[in-house]
Structure 1
């Protein structure tokens, strides 16, 4: 299984650090040339591989850690996303609900990535919190996942556990997805809730 993070801002770098802590290799890419962020990637660790966008999107699992407004630019990198899993880490805060056609923002993202299985996840924590070791006081930090594809949710749930998090599945995008999304000037009820699960 190969992994990529598209977007290397605060959230993208926090995700990269989670992969580095677990020793899991991940490609990182932006719309810029890889040389422009190679030193930042190297500072995180040797398993963080800077690539061109066209190369990074060949991964099996692609974390979308860009601004919501940029998701369509990333979607154009491939003609079909068949067989891939997209983890939607975007937040559509400030995007009017009418621009989303009254849908959950993840549904709009899913429509752009033709053929992909989409999981909404890892977006409810602020970058500074996501950046921290998920092992907290003997428990594990929670990440919420929502998807209309149970298989994809299970796959990303297993990855979340490998990264040290405790995944909690919220159901489909139209129900659970609404709990962890932003749109207009409102945040979903679970956004910014920093929870820890004790086994």
Structure 2
């Protein structure tokens, strides 16, 4: 099983750290090219290597770890998915510049946190991601925890809980194996329309919830 990560910001880089910590290899890519990831790959060598977005997208399991506003650009023109697994780690929020009008908008309840909810016109977030990766089997995971704790699956003498959801039973089983392999305790939240809404920022009731199985 090969793993690719599209996106090398806080989410993508910390997923790479988590994988390397548990002996798993992956190819990570961003829009700026492999050379821009030299520091990260030197930190995580030899298990994590930098590649092009096309190379990362050719893996058996591909983690989408880009900002919501970059999804369409990041996933455009990639190889046919052919039922490969895409892990959707995104959340439908926009990160605000501190000096922007949105950051000072009294009608934005999330302005104090530097984010703004994106209107999905009645769709759930993984439905939107799924439309960008036609033919892939989408599983929602790695989106509900603070990215800074992702490399540390153990806490308080137990395992952190990682939620996941999806509509394809076999794809979910593969992602569950991966979650277990990196030391987390997986909890299945059901289909994407239910689980994705429960775990997704900014309004999911389980978003940001850091549960530990003792």
TM-score (norm 1): 0.91
Checking the alignment, whether the CA contact within 8 Å between 2:54 and 2:79 is kept in structure 1 is no
Q: CA RMSD in A?
A: 1.3
Partners in 2 of 1:81 and 1:73 — Cα distance?
16
State which of 99, 118, 123 in structure 2 corresponds to 1:96. 118
Once the 2 structures are TM-superposed, how far is the Cα of residue 79 of structure 1 from its aligned partner?
A: 4.9
Runs of 4+ in 1 over 6 A off after TM superposition: none
Unaligned segments of structure 2, at least 5 residues:
94-115
**Rg larger for:** 2
Q: Which residue of 1 aligns with 2:144?
A: 124
State which of 123, 137, 144 in structure 1 corresponds to 2:163. 144
State which of 172, 175, 178 in structure 2 corresponds to 1:159. 178
Unaligned segments of structure 1, at least 5 residues:
none
Q: Which residue of 2 aligns with 1:53?
A: 53
Aligned length in residues: 192
State which of 184, 187, 195 in structure 1 corresponds to 2:211. 195
Identify which range, 160-169 or 100-109, moves more after superposition. Answer: 100-109
Kindly report which structure 2 residues correspond to 1:18-57, keeping only aligned pairs within 5 A, or say none.
Answer: 18-57=18-57
TM-score (norm 2): 0.85
Partners in 1 of 2:157 and 2:139 — Cα distance?
27
